[in-house]
Structure 1
Amino acid sequence: MKTIHFKVSEKDIEGYAALSGDFNPIHFDQEYAAAHGFAHTIAHGMLTMAKVWSVVANELGLGPRHIQYSLSFQAPVYAGAQVELTIIEKEQTIFITGKSKGTTVVKGHIKIE
């Protein structure tokens, strides 16, 4: 079992919006996010997925191989959040759980063939 930490900064969110064209105010406007039930502005889901994949691939040295992965979002990742990933390797599957402030935010697995 391994534990890895990463942060989703406001700068990350701004950069992802510039690349993707997704400027939904839920990612930038605190009042708008609160009006939609969130405690703070939230990261884009695909930004979170990219950060998870990046840290896992780098930590485990997953180079170009035939890989399938599945990631589900359990709760929002807030701007500025520190995310703790727990990685468990079992045979040809890597199980991932990501938590922020004690709340599970992502779960998934990677199958390596």
Structure 2
Amino acid sequence: MTELTPGAVLEPLTYEITRADLVAYAAASGDHNPIHQDEEIALAVGLPGVIAHGMYTLALVGRAVATWTDEAEVVELGAKFVAPVVVPAEGAARVTVAGTVGERTDAGLALALEITADGTKVLGAPKVLVRA
């Protein structure tokens, strides 16, 4: 578990997303939108290629939070989807979750995060509050 004192830097965690992961997530979530699996359709609707599900990307944030906090209770988790995570046909996209420990209040402990994919910010205004 990371030391959760205000101002502490959280060790950045990087997760790889492959096309196979998108197929598995679609099956688990029921979100079978073809932009998450079919290159031709993704390009036809103006996307730069097949993109990861936004909620899958946010779930990776939850995974990072669980790692840093030794699976503390999550009170609040949210963000705005500001850029797509483009997943190549070969290899993987890399999503990195980084940040610092914020203020501790009666409601819980805030984490100030930055979420990027291959160097591009993909989630904006992330809000995380845990009981730790």
Q: TM-score, normalised by structure 1?
A: 0.87
Per residue, is there more strand in 1 or in 2? Answer: 2
Flag the 1:66–1:106 CA change in 2: closer, same or farther, 3 A.
closer
* Residue 97 (1) aligns with residue 114 (2): yes
* Residue 72 (1) aligns with residue 80 (2): yes
Aligned to 1:83: 95
Structure 2 unaligned regions, length at least 5: 1-8, 104-108
How far is 1:60 from its partner?
2.6
Aligned to 1:23: 32
How far is 1:66 from its partner?
5.5
Alignment partner for residue 55 of structure 2, among 46, 58, 66? Answer: 46
How far is 1:33 from its partner?
0.6
How far is 1:5 from its partner?
0.8
Aligned residues: 112
Per residue, is there more helix in 1 or in 2? Answer: 1
% identity of equivalent residues = 32
Aligned-residue CA RMSD (Å): 1.6
